[in-house]
Amino acid sequence: MDQQISNLQVKAFGQNFYTNVELMGGKLRPYVTMVGDKFGSIPYRKDGIYPIYQGGGRPEKKTTRYGDSPVSEGQYGNRKITRQFFHDGFFSDDWQDFEQIVADPKAPKTIGLVNKFRREEDIGIMTGILGAANGGTLGDTSVPFSTSNVIDVKTGGSGGANAGMNYQKFLALKDALVSSNVDIEYGMKPVMVMSSQQFYLELYNDEKFINSGYYKFAQAAGTNKVIDFMDVTIVVMNNCPYINTAKTGVTVASAWDASTGEAVDYDGNDIRACFAFMPHAIYHELGPDVETNSERVILKSNAIYTYAKMAFGTTRVEEAPCWLVPCDQSI
């Protein structure tokens, strides 16, 4: 017997999706400044920032302008961001499958959907950090990533060779932030993003690192991990982009397949583009609405298609606090 999809079922699926997105945002989200047209009046909650709305209409691009950055020494007025909408969905094989999605926030298909959005969110943030920002009077002036904000890949290497992640690169990053007159407020640490190989293999093979007081403290605590090292917060991601050794790093997006969400070494000679930033240098905006719906698809034997859509975008409001830290992980 045929059965109609009720608005209550759609709303329940939407509520479960909101909850999952709030609890499982992208890895970089907690370390950037969250802004938006709705956030000024809604307090930031520990488990997320989404106000709960139902509906919202079909997605369309929305551009938001920011005012002058209060910590900028240059002209950063009229920076703008465009919300990019990402949507995905799946076919429900039967009503039991659909009812599980409605009733269980941890249903495998729902979690899979949320994980895709988490990856897209991280891609958007990395693009905002390492790509071109938009500024100028009309907000249409391209501001590329600075070629001077790149730590030498040979830092800490032997014989002038390219080096992987090491203790010396942390020192070089801190020196670069100080020499650039970057605001480092109390309790606000620089964030350094690196791949698993950079963290667990290269850094842990550096004698200066494993003999440091930070690592000794971690061993005594029984964790054998150092997430906060030398007043820098470390974020380990498998999606750090690659750059070519012959480049300065400003063309990082050309060696990173944003369509699939995977970092790609196209010619086998690329190196990892570890990067670092101060939270106040990045503005990340999330759309106030997440649209969810379920409907029948005639071409799929009237199977139920369940989907969700969300929007976000990121812009870099300051160049000085953002740094590229190339690491040759082939050593």
Task: Report pLDDT digits (tens) over 51-60.
Answer: 444 455 566 7
- Report d(CA 206, CA 164) in Å as an integer: 10
Domain that holds residue 295: 7-140+281-316
Same domain, 128 and 158: no
The pLDDT value recorded for residue 275 is 92
Tell me if 265 is assigned to some domain. yes
Same domain, 255 and 290: no
Same domain, 96 and 215: no
In sequence order, what are the beta bridge partners of 83? 62
Tell me if 2 is assigned to some domain. no
Residue 56 has φ and ψ, to the nearest 5°, of: 115, -5
Same domain, 132 and 223: no
Tell me if 1 is assigned to some domain. no
Spell out, as residue ranges, where the chain has pLDDT lower than 50: 1-2, 39-54, 73, 247-255
Q: CATH number for the domain including 67?
A: 3.30.2400
**Backbone φ/ψ region at 19: left (φ over 0), alpha (ψ -120 to 50), beta:** alpha
Same domain, 255 and 227: yes
The pLDDT value recorded for residue 217 is 66
Same domain, 114 and 186: no
* Domain total in the chain: 2
The pLDDT value recorded for residue 310 is 84
